[in-house]
Structure 1
């Protein structure tokens, strides 16, 4: 299957180039939507300061542990965002409506899972044993599935004892291939809920495999479909057994893919926190091609403000958002008193203040290039109050390690992202998206085609080249939050029995100021 697709470049009128937006192309009309195709400007952009957008190429991995936290003294000074419309990238292929992202976090109830017991022939048990013996290719541990005990049961022959043991071991194997081996408590701040357990129940998979006798095909049937998983599997096969550290890290990242839906969808947003990048991906499942648009990001600082891992749904795009200033600033820093006491200063700086009957002052920053949310915000309701947004502090994107925020994901090319999603998800025409942005007026665009959005954490991944949109070679990214060790330690410990817990039960941290 092809891992990448060439990005077509269409000729566009020079007048549209000068405004930073292209004319409406044929692909959008053929898809039966009003979406229009963005394309790159014909004039080369000015040279930018060098910045490494990807991690270290994988060789023998010896570095471990979190990267040093960004130094306060090294924090770049915020600068005002330009008020111009940025040029858009080559247009994504049109897509049909996509499914919803995984459900929002719920309070997990830890109930042990009971494995179904089914009838086994000796041939099926031997086929299961063979699959177990080679399961190391998938980054799992054959010893977890008791091959010696199964071999002994096969020697005894068919009967209730073989049925019970083979069913239990097959159930464990299905669970780990589908959902991941790592116990949920070791998945720190991973609140994304994987729906595969519901879509592919263990008893159904086991019954169908017994009927087809295709135990060799079980790993492929349950494997994540993303190209990164395939690349990690290939890298695992190439890694010498003596390089235990690299093997452990590859296993860790292969398992993380199992914590997500097997298929992420036809169109989705995907942000890998350690990579400091967000992408908008369109997957043509028929042709086996991938289209990726990317932007650099700034993520949460390590500690209490670390960006959590989520699977949510984009509901709307907001151009020229307002920002309700947190009370820690309104009261704690005296902004409320200043706004109410000096209306002229407040208006000049884009603030509006109101005082309620109980004396509480509310301050809202009005739309504009200096708004804390910049010129665009992605509306993705979630209990963590985490979202993607623009920022006037563009200098932060020049840093190599960009963990500066209070949890939200600041996006360098946020306006482009908002325009692309409004075109793909709401059928907005290019000129209308441009007009919304340039109006300076708060404008919310509800989506008619929803997009899953995944905020993930991979320390080995294939970066997307920001020029070509193609998958690059696997690279190592700094473990900025120290989240590799709990997973690696869980693989070194005996396998734990699965429960019905689906996501982290850590407390949801809602910061007063998540920007």
Structure 2
């Protein structure tokens, strides 16, 4: 009879009216011993995901289960909802995600409550929580590497934990076709059908002008682009060149047009001869560069924030593969003409500009990348509830 009452209560909460403020009531739901033990077991192994079991108080849960304490329902409910938030949205949030502007895969409180209702009604607490974990191959590889890393290797463990956490900040579904930029790895991957079909070395922002992390959609590309010069760069160098050596400025293609300085198309253009059309509030783009020798450097943080790609015309050919008449030969002809030409993609695709200091290489093994912007420390501090100290 008690079990029947519990199920009826679950159904009433799941289907009943929301409170006056639009939230699902948060009264603790009835927890069976079986479900509570499943929750405790899930918490005890959460370290394999790079999270700290102590944050979810497994010993307290075990003690309440053993004593059949009346407080179990309230504590178990609170723990479940805490886990839902951390697994779906990440443990580290807010300003501690430095320059991270990729939207959270958020789940609101009514949805969290609905998940709890389903988990208890179907005795699927572990399965429901497990479904919230990232399933991207990068996360799976990082998790496997963490499991194989000795806990005594603190630096390696912390690096892996920081990057597992960053994957919890990412959308769970990136799509089947997308561009993934890893700023810390100086690499761009073009993914088609869920498989990486092309990798390109990158040059990214200097430590003084770091490349932000954001997502957008690439809708096309421009061959032989004009460069609308940002005011910061005009103040830094171009304005002085125009004032002191106008003939030299003209020879480099700098012109005054439309109320601002621009650079005309050509191989000497700062954007090179290819730029992706990818609207974003940071005016950061993926483009070619005339400074190709910089790709020989191992640490390639040289730009004002934009992302310069090696072998851009090969990338362009892959991106235009679904556009009739736009093979590599057609691209080369337009480039040689120096005529600025925009080509829209047959279908736009997502672009994710990320920052992972540990990520898979071409062999599928985890490679370590320099923390060029010094961002791992803040993430690890939040994961361990520690204060960030200066070196």
Establish whether residue 479 from structure 1 lines up as the match of residue 371 from structure 2: yes
- 2: distance between equivalents of 1:347 and 1:487? 47
Deviation at 1:395, TM superposition (A): 1.0
| 4+ residue runs over 6 A deviation | 113-116
| Residue correspondence of structure 1 range 185-334 to structure 2 within 5 A | 185-197=95-107, 201-284=111-194, 290-303=195-208, 305-327=209-231, 333-334=239-240
Deviation at 1:494, TM superposition (A): 7.3
Establish whether residue 142 from structure 1 lines up as the match of residue 53 from structure 2: yes
Aligned to 1:124: 35
| Residue correspondence of structure 1 range 60-99 to structure 2 within 5 A | none
Among candidates 262, 270, 275, match of residue 372 of structure 1: 270
Cα-to-partner distance string for 1:107-163 (whole Å, 9 max, x where unaligned):
xxxxxx99674332222111111111122121111111111222233245486x333
Establish whether residue 353 from structure 1 lines up as the match of residue 260 from structure 2: no
Q: SS of the counterpart of 2:104? A: coil
Establish whether residue 152 from structure 1 lines up as the match of residue 75 from structure 2: no
- 2: distance between equivalents of 1:242 and 1:347? 60
Aligned to 1:173: 83
Among candidates 399, 402, 421, match of residue 300 of structure 2: 402
- 1: distance between equivalents of 2:27 and 2:320? 46
Alpha-carbon RMSD across the aligned residues, in angstroms, is 2.9
- 1: distance between equivalents of 2:84 and 2:67? 25
Unaligned runs of 5+ in 2: 1-23
* C-alpha spacing 1:116/1:137, structure 2 compared with 1 (3 Å): farther
- 1: distance between equivalents of 2:152 and 2:244? 64
> What count of residue pairs does the alignment treat as equivalent?
361
* C-alpha spacing 1:211/1:418, structure 2 compared with 1 (3 Å): farther
Aligned to 1:362: 260
Q: SS of the counterpart of 1:222? A: coil
Q: SS of the counterpart of 2:126? A: coil
* C-alpha spacing 1:330/1:124, structure 2 compared with 1 (3 Å): closer
* C-alpha spacing 1:482/1:349, structure 2 compared with 1 (3 Å): closer
* C-alpha spacing 1:114/1:233, structure 2 compared with 1 (3 Å): farther
- 2: distance between equivalents of 1:122 and 1:494? 34
Cα-to-partner distance string for 1:380-436 (whole Å, 9 max, x where unaligned):
111111111111111111111111101101111122222322334x55631544444
| Residue correspondence of structure 1 range 428-507 to structure 2 within 5 A | 429-430=326-327, 432-464=330-362, 471-493=363-385
Q: SS of the counterpart of 1:274? A: coil
* C-alpha spacing 1:329/1:380, structure 2 compared with 1 (3 Å): closer
Q: SS of the counterpart of 1:216? A: helix
Cα-to-partner distance string for 1:350-399 (whole Å, 9 max, x where unaligned):
34334x7xxxx633221111111101111211111111111111111111
- Contact (CA 8 Å) 2:88, 2:105: kept in 1 or not? no
- 2: distance between equivalents of 1:115 and 1:370? 62
> Structure 1 or 2: larger helix share?
2
- Contact (CA 8 Å) 1:299, 1:405: kept in 2 or not? yes
- Contact (CA 8 Å) 2:187, 2:202: kept in 1 or not? yes
- 1: distance between equivalents of 2:366 and 2:304? 29
TM-score by length of 2: 0.83
Cα-to-partner distance string for 1:150-185 (whole Å, 9 max, x where unaligned):
2233245486x3332211100111111122112332
- 2: distance between equivalents of 1:311 and 1:271? 10
Pick which of 147-156 and 474-483 moved more: 147-156
- Contact (CA 8 Å) 2:242, 2:249: kept in 1 or not? no
- 1: distance between equivalents of 2:305 and 2:279? 15
- Higher RCO (C-alpha under 8 Å, 6+ residues apart): 1
Cα-to-partner distance string for 1:83-117 (whole Å, 9 max, x where unaligned):
xxxxxxxxxxxxxxxxxxxxxxxxxxxxxx99674
Q: SS of the counterpart of 1:217? A: helix
Unaligned runs of 5+ in 1: 1-112, 285-289, 465-470, 496-515
Aligned to 1:12: none
- Contact (CA 8 Å) 1:115, 1:171: kept in 2 or not? no
